[in-house]
Amino acid sequence: MTTISSLSLFAQASKLAEKKSNKPTLVVGIVIDQMRYDYIYRFWDKFGNDGFKKLVNEGFFCKNTNFNYVPTYTGPGHASIYTGTTPAINGIIANDWFDKSKLRDIYCVADNDVIGVGTTSKEGKRSPINLLTTTITDELRISSNMKSKVIGIALKDRSAILPAGHTANAAYWFDGSIGSFISSSYYMAELPKWVQEFNKKELPKKYLSQSWNTLLPIEQYTESLPDDNKYETIGKGELKPVFPHDLPALYPKNGGLGMIRNTPFGNSLTKDFAIETIKSENLGKSTATDFLTVSFSSPDYIGHFYGPNSIEQEDDYLRLDKELAELIKFIELQVGKGNALIFLTADHAAPEVPAYLSDLRIPAGYVREEKMVDSLKKYMTNTYGDSLVLSFSNQQIFLNHTVINAKKLFLQQVQEDVAAFVFKFPEISEVITASTMNNTQFTEGVRYLMQKGYNAKRSGDVLVNYLPAYVDYMPTGTTHGSPYSYDTHVPLLFYGWNIRQGSSTEQIYITDIAATLAMMLNIQFPNGCTGIPISILIK
């Protein structure tokens, strides 16, 4: 009897395991803000075995993954990963853009019809209202009759909101003015008690009560430039951009508790909140598949400030590796190893600091957009009696159609006139008019990427692209946004449920992620999806 009973229990357990293997109980999407593909290999020897290396050694590495549009910014990046399509269709053409109907700049997740939850500041007036398509997270919710839980978290609001989609149970982001995670009335009337309790711990203050020193002895950071170099920004209250960074003395002068974003402890805080979210919301414990979107925002802030070759950025990634290891370990303990599907990618990469490249005698430099626009406005005033320029943002020129119509000018001719004038500037590589975008289909090259980022209703009249390694930015630190591989080439790793170990160098676009997840989960593609399932992962 005992033997039969034991066999019966074993059989039942086996059936349960087999039943569970039909779908993951939890999907975790990890997006690292400003991660270059080469960081995996540059820092490989210093990574531990349970973070990036675990994802590579036990998961599947899509080595040739690129963004297939411009501009490569945070908002469009997160939107495109989860909608499976580009700004041309999902509508998130930048972080901020000039709204042609309202004649003012708008923020990609701004929503004046909602109020903050957990805050009284404008940081709470956020929602996915400007996202025009569904996300893979929306489709998961719809497919389960809203039984699947979907939650998005990040320090940046747009990095939490856009991945979570329109139907999310919650999205949480960090309000640096009060040092707490918040949400908006789009999702809830008040913060859950567990979020309130988490905020009461005042972890940002605790993390900022320590100095930021290197994790390893500083002489071991041979993958980076010397600590004291002229390509890094100096914080208020510091004489040089060098370790140790005295955070207790610095943060009151550098954004208060919000300064945690500019340190690797922003990643620690995000990981802490991710673990608490999984635990408190019992993610992965129901019959429906749950989905947690996590974005680590601090690498972007650190990269902008110090640049990709700084010891600060290297130290940030070595510490992030440890945070990932802890998060992965907790996920597997929570839902069982093999029941969680994890993917990791980035919302964009980053170029070298142009000043550094120039010193190496590599063509690079800085664009002064204000001077360009001033020259354009003077030329247009002399030619047409009016500057006709409403805005220059995200390398797009918006013209005043009301005045153009009143003067009975031919719009296409005005656009072409603007394009011809701007193209004369030495830093410019491409200029395309909206008329050309609307009447021509490009299939390759920079113009193809520009077209994939062009939304007919939201984008400008003339689109401009700069030469490689030319940016509109200060001479220290780095930025992003271009169609070149240094901005578009990012890592993509899948790990866990039904993922076999391996790698591929086949061309994959960032929009293929959502299509692949849809096939894995046996649900509908997002309704604007243009991506293609990654065949080697779904065989």
CA distance 85 to 532: 10
H-run or E-run covering 291 = strand 290-296
Q: Where in the chain is the domain with CATH 3.40.720.10?
A: 26-356+483-538
User: Catalytic residues, which ones?
Assistant: 74
Half-sphere exposure of 162 (CA within 13 A, CB side): 34
- Give the neighbor-by-neighbor strand order of the sheet with 396-399: 389-393, 396-399, 462-466, 428-433
Torsion angle of the four alpha carbons 445, 456, 488, 107, in this order, in degrees rounded to the nearest 10: 160
- Spatial CA neighbour of 501 closest among 459, 536, 473: 536
Q: Where in the chain is the domain with CATH 3.30.1360.150?
A: 368-426+428-466
Contacts of 448 (CB under 8 A, 6+ apart): 442
Q: What pLDDT, on the 0 to 100 scale, is given for residue 455?
A: 98
Q: What is the topology classification, in CATH, of domain 368-426+428-466? A: Gyrase A; domain 2 (3.30.1360)
Residue 490 forms beta bridges with which residues?
65
| Tokens matching residue 378 | 């003077």
CA distance 177 to 348: 27
Half-sphere exposure of 37 (CA within 13 A, CB side): 16
For the chain, which ranges sit under pLDDT 70?
1-21
Please state the three-class secondary structure of 338-390 as a single string.
CCEEEEEEECCCCCCCHHHHHHCCCCCEECCHHHHHHHHHHHHHHHHCCCCEE
Write down the pTM of the prediction. Answer: 0.95
What are the DSSP calls for 387-449, one per residue?
A: --EEEEETTEEEE-HHHHHHTT--HHHHHHHHHHHHHTSTTEEEEEEHHHHHH----SHHHHH
Q: What's the length of the chain?
A: 539
Q: What pLDDT, on the 0 to 100 scale, is given for residue 337?
A: 84
Report yes or no: 163 and 109 within 8 Å, Cβ to Cβ: no
How far, in whole angstroms, is CA 159 from its chain's centroid? 6
Top-level class of domain 26-356+483-538:
alpha beta
Fill in the DSSP letter of residue 110.
B
H-run or E-run covering 503 = strand 502-504
Half-sphere exposure of 133 (CA within 13 A, CB side): 25
Half-sphere exposure of 249 (CA within 13 A, CB side): 9
**b/e code 410-443 from CB counts within 10 Å (16+ = b):** eeeebbbbbbebbeebebbebbbbbbbbeeeeee
State the pairing for strand pair 396-399/389-393.
Answer: antiparallel
| Other residues' Cβ atoms within 10 Å of the Cβ of residue 538 | 13
The single residue listed with the structure tokens 């593909």 is 37
Q: What pLDDT, on the 0 to 100 scale, is given for residue 9?
A: 35
Report in angstroms the alpha-carbon separations of 401 from 274, 333, 390.
47, 59, 9
